[in-house]
Amino acid sequence: MSRKGSDFSGVSVALVTPFQDGEVDYVTLRSQVEFQIAAGTACLCPTGTTGESPTLTHEEHERVIAEVVQVSAGRIKVMAGTGSNSTAEALRLTKWAAKEGADASLMVAPYYNKPTQEGFYQHYKTVAEEVGIPLCVYNIPGRTAKNIEPETIIRLADLPNITMVKEATGSLDQASQIISATDLTVLSGDDSLTLPLLSIGGEGVISVVANIIPTDMIKLVNAFTTGETDQATQWHHQLFPLCRDMLGLATNPIPIKVAMQMLGRDSGELRLPMTQPTATQTEALAQTLQRYGLL
C-alpha cells in the first residue's frame, strides 16, 4: 500500500536548540545541521519538544526554522515544529515555515486546553486548509494531557495534505488501527519502539538519540527496510539500553543535551523550567554513554 507521507520515511532527527549564555547559539545549530547531513539523515525536525519550543520566543522560533532551512539548502528535508495550543498561532507558525521553504510541518496536539476530539479535528483541518505543505500530526498524550483518538486521526487522513502521524502514545494497538485504516505514514515518536512500529507497517522514526548516533539508527531502519530483520533486531537490542537509560533519566531534552555536552557537540545549556540533572544522574548518564562506547 502506497502511503501519503512515504517521502518522509527513514530517520528524522528531533533537533535540540543550542543555547549559549541564555541566547540561541546559531553557530552551533548550523554545525548540528551539517553533522546530520553528513550522517545521511533523511529529515530534520527543529523546534519540537526536543528543541524546547515552549520556551522559545516567537522570533526565536521563526529564526531557528529559517536557519535550519537555509543551512539545509535542499540537501536534507526539514519538517518544522509549528504546533501550538492556539489554532491561530499554529496556523501563523505553519505559514511561516512554508514561506521559509520547510518541506513539512510537525504539529503537536494542542496541549493544556484538552480539546474534544472534534476540537482536535477542527484544529488540524483549519491549518491543513490554509497551508499547502504536508502536515504530520504529533500525538504525544504524555505531554499534551489528551490522546488524539485513532478515529479522529482516521478522519484527518481524508484531508489531502495531512500525510503523517508521529506516534508517541506508546500503544501499538493505536498505531495498528491507524495504519490499517488509513494511507498515512506513521513515524515512531519513541526511539525504543522504532523496530516494533516498523514491524506493523510504520515507516521510520523521529529520533532523539539520533542527535548523537544517527548512523546507528539509520542502520536499524535500513536493515529492516531491506529485509535484514535479524540485523535490525540486533541493532534494536544494541540501541535499547541507551534509549532506556539515557532518555529515561530525566525529562527530554535534559539527558540528550547533557550527553551532547559530554561529547563536545552542545553547551548542555537548558532554559527554565528545564534544569540540569543531579550529580548522580550525570554520573549515570556518563556510564550509559561509556557502555555504548561513546565515551
Render pLDDT for 53-95 as a digit per residue (tens, 0 to 9).
999 999 999 999 999 999 999 999 999 999 999 999 999 999 9
Please identify every residue annotated as catalytic: 138, 166
Q: What is the pTM (predicted TM-score) of this model?
A: 0.97
Quote the pLDDT of residue 105.
98
Helices in 73-140 by DSSP H: which ranges? 87-100, 117-130
Domain assignment of residue 23, yes or no: yes
Using CA atoms, how far apart are residues 46 and 65, in angstroms rounded to an integer? 6
Containing H/E element for 201? none
pLDDT of residue 215: 98
Query: Would you say residue 267 lies in a domain?
Result: no
Cell, residue 133:
505543505
Q: How many domains does the chain have?
A: 1
Note whether residue 250 is domain-resident.
no
Backbone angles phi, psi at 146, to 5 degrees: -155, 140
In a domain, 257, yes or no: no
pLDDT for 157-198, tens place per residue?
Answer: 999 999 999 999 999 999 999 999 999 999 999 999 999 999
Q: Which three cell numbers stand for residue 76?
A: 536534507
In a domain, 157, yes or no: yes
Q: Please answer whether residues 207 and 216 qualify as being in contact, where contact means their C-beta atoms are separated by less than 8 angstroms.
A: no
13 occurs within a structural domain:
yes
Determine the Cα–Cα distance for residues 46 and 8; give it in Å rounded to an integer: 15
Strands 23-24 and 19-20: antiparallel
Rounded to the nearest 10 degrees, how much is the dihedral formed by the CA atoms of 53, 65, 15, 82?
A: 50
The domain containing residue 52 runs over which residues?
6-225
| C-alpha span between 292 and 279 (Å, rounded) | 20
Set of cell numbers at residue 149: 483518538
Burial label, 139 (beta-carbon count in 10 A; 0-12, 13-18, 19+): buried
**The pLDDT of residue 1:** 57
Q: Which residue carries 551539517 as its cell?
A: 34
254 located within any domain: no
The one-digit pLDDT tens for each residue of the chain (295 residues) are 589 999 999 999 999 999 999 999 999 999 999 999 999 999 999 999 999 999 999 999 999 999 999 999 999 999 999 999 999 999 999 999 999 999 999 999 999 999 999 999 999 999 999 999 999 999 999 999 999 999 999 999 999 999 999 999 999 999 999 999 999 999 999 999 999 999 999 999 999 999 999 999 999 999 999 999 999 999 999 999 999 999 999 999 999 999 999 999 999 999 999 999 999 999 999 999 999 999 9
In this structure, how many other beta carbons lie within 10 angstroms of the beta carbon of residue 189? 26
Count the residues in the chain. Answer: 295
Phi-psi region of 284 (alpha: psi -120 to 50; beta: other; left: phi over 0): alpha
Query: Distance (Å, rounded) from C-alpha 181 to C-alpha 188?
Result: 17
CATH number of domain containing 43: 3.20.20.70
Residue 190, pLDDT score: 97
Helix then strand count (H, E) for the chain reads 12, 10
d(CA 283, CA 258): 11
Fill in the DSSP letter of residue 276: P
Residue 174 near residue 167, CB atoms below 8 Å: yes
Give a yes or no: residue 70 inside a domain: yes
DSSP secondary structure, 250-267, as one string? SSTTHHHHHHHHHTTS--
| Rounded CA Rg of the chain | 18
